[in-house]
Amino acid sequence: MRSGMGALMRGVVTMAVALFLNVQANAAEVLREATIGEPPPLDVMVTTADVAAVIGRHIFETLYALDSTYSPRPLLAESDRVDEGGKTIVIKLRQGVLFHNGKELTAADVVASMKRWGQFGARGKLLMGNAVSVEATDRYEVTLKLSAPNGAWKTLIADVNGGLAIYPEEIVSKAGAQPIEQKDYIGTGPYKFKEWRPNRYVELEKFDRYSSCKEAGDGFAGARVANFDAIRFVPVPDVGTRVSGVQAGDYDYAEMISGDLFDQLSADKSIHVVRSNAPIFGLFFMNSKEGILKDNYKLRRAIQMALDKSQAQRVAFGPKGLWDAQGSIFPQGSFWYSTAGTEAYSQHDAKKAKELAKEAGYTGTPIRLLVSTNYQAHFDEATVFTRQLAEAGINVQMMVVDWATLLKMRAQSEQWDIYVTHHGFQPDPILLTFLNPTYPGWWDNPEINALRTELTNSSDQTARKAAWEKIQALFYEQVPAMKVGDAYTYDIASPKLKGLNPNGPAFWNVSAK
């Protein structure tokens, strides 16, 4: 018995030593990134989840990519030509680009990817809805024919998030509506998929045969150099944990830190704060299809009239440097910035709101506000607004559910009157969700439809800008949704990381030296 124990002890000690040595041997350079949670499948073409896009952006690439001013620049494409007043688009591909499985990228892969994207891609209909045909007109040339010109075509295919990521033909045509399987995560990016350990990490490793653009890296565009042997994306849902993890050196980078920690972290020498260069904004969608708010523009205006948007933002985002209570959908400095209609943005006039609601025939019926707690900012904004509306005699009943339930419920028009979500920064108004008549909220009437066509079917930017200004004015008149305000999210990084991307977490061209 005693000698048995001795043997066991010796075994344990040997194992312990072996495990310790194992750490020492592990000298490969790995970047560890703390993400906000476990991602859904990395089939970036069909999902719009940011967690998936952040990882997928390293694996999959697009024909164009957005530079730091959010203008599209060629990535897998080399050049393009537009004929027939914008109805024919010919894209020439860069030659010698290899997929992770060693196969060369050709027009056939692009055509197959475009077809699946048009049918199942999250944002595919925006461009492919008007497609007449898409063909490989040469080994490295793709021709897209449209029934009407599309002024934003290049922007629409310049990001992986629900966008036209290029997959190998055999994988994409096999997949159809189903998500791509893990073994088929094959793209052309500077990192390739290695393994996915549920609840632990997704690991990517350097792709040695990556063929890079020649132009210098700028935002997501230009040359891409992989300086790390591997990147590990670790799901860390709790913000506090992500922060202490970077402070302790467990992670090199952490996403989406809460505003209340901003001042404290900005002063911290052991941490580098990375503020995003483009704002996101909260959106409160109104039900245009059914219920008390349908067509009752006056009541909707009464609701907006009662709100003080800066109060909500102070609670949701913290210090003043991280938010801007302004009504233009696009931020100042953007080509699309406009003040049309924005005087109605944040009046905070309870008395006027009460009168307006009375004129609109409102008698105190509860208005159902659907919100999830998965995004703390949504819940914070809803809490503040509910209180402000109560002061104006408008009775809002919060329905708090989890995000998955909200996604299901918002598709059913009888379930809600208002729901809360947010919108990421978009380079072109065509990509705004509330302009999509089939998106829950269903802003669909002759006025907006006419303006939407005016915005889409033109390639003259001045004409498009004029159309957009009219849309924004209508946005404040009919209130299909309320903009909360611009919010700048921020990430934190270890100070040893150099060359961080201003457009968001992307780790090519980043090094730790």
Binding site for other proteins (CB under 8 A): 16, 19-20, 22-23, 26, 38, 40-41, 46-49, 120, 122-123, 162, 176-179, 181-182, 196-200, 234, 236-241, 244-245, 248, 250, 258, 260-261, 264, 311, 314-315, 373-374, 376, 379-380, 383-384, 386-387, 398, 400-405, 407-408, 439
Q: How far apart are CA 251 and CA 17, in angstroms?
A: 25
Output the smallest distance, CB 265 to other proteins, in A.
11
Do 423 and 433 meet the contact criterion of CB atoms below 8 Å apart? yes
Do 42 and 185 meet the contact criterion of CB atoms below 8 Å apart? yes
- Which residue lies nearer to other proteins by CB, 149 or 424? 424
- Which residue lies nearer to other proteins by CB, 297 or 439? 439
Output the smallest distance, CB 55 to other proteins, in A.
14
Q: How far apart are CA 198 and CA 39, in angstroms?
A: 10
Output the smallest distance, CB 32 to other proteins, in A.
10
- Which residue lies nearer to other proteins by CB, 49 or 497? 49
Do 470 and 344 meet the contact criterion of CB atoms below 8 Å apart? no
Do 256 and 36 meet the contact criterion of CB atoms below 8 Å apart? yes
- Which residue lies nearer to other proteins by CB, 69 or 241? 241
- Which residue lies nearer to other proteins by CB, 5 or 177? 177
- Which residue lies nearer to other proteins by CB, 46 or 213? 46
- Which residue lies nearer to other proteins by CB, 292 or 315? 315
- Which residue lies nearer to other proteins by CB, 19 or 216? 19
Do 62 and 159 meet the contact criterion of CB atoms below 8 Å apart? yes
Output the smallest distance, CB 56 to other proteins, in A.
13
Tokens for 234? 């670790």
Residue 177 CA from chain centroid, whole number: 21
Output the smallest distance, CB 407 to other proteins, in A.
5
Output the smallest distance, CB 285 to other proteins, in A.
12
Do 306 and 394 meet the contact criterion of CB atoms below 8 Å apart? yes
473 Cβ contact list (under 8 Å, min separation 6): 340, 341
Output the smallest distance, CB 474 to other proteins, in A.
23
- Which residue lies nearer to other proteins by CB, 76 or 186? 186
Do 128 and 114 meet the contact criterion of CB atoms below 8 Å apart? yes
Name the packing angle between helices 461-478 and 297-305 (round to 10°). 90
167-172 LR contacts (CB < 8 Å, sep 24+):
167/45, 167/60, 167/109, 167/112, 167/113, 167/116, 168/99, 168/101, 168/103, 168/109, 169/108, 169/109, 169/111, 169/112, 169/113, 172/109, 172/112, 172/113, 172/115, 172/116
- Which residue lies nearer to other proteins by CB, 181 or 343? 181
Q: How far apart are CA 39 and CA 46, in angstroms?
A: 13
Output the smallest distance, CB 160 to other proteins, in A.
13
Output the smallest distance, CB 416 to other proteins, in A.
15
- Which residue lies nearer to other proteins by CB, 210 or 323? 323
Output the smallest distance, CB 31 to other proteins, in A.
15
Tokens for 380? 């914070």
19 Cβ contact list (under 8 Å, min separation 6): none
Exposed, middle or buried: residue 306 (CB in 10 Å: 0-12, 13-18, 19+)? buried
- Which residue lies nearer to other proteins by CB, 180 or 305? 180
383 Cβ contact list (under 8 Å, min separation 6): 315, 398
Output the smallest distance, CB 34 to other proteins, in A.
9
Output the smallest distance, CB 95 to other proteins, in A.
33
Residue 442 CA from chain centroid, whole number: 21
Q: How far apart are CA 455 and CA 447, in angstroms?
A: 13
104-107 LR contacts (CB < 8 Å, sep 24+):
105/76, 105/166, 105/188, 106/136, 106/139, 106/140, 107/136, 107/137, 107/138, 107/139, 107/140, 107/141, 107/142
Do 98 and 105 meet the contact criterion of CB atoms below 8 Å apart? yes
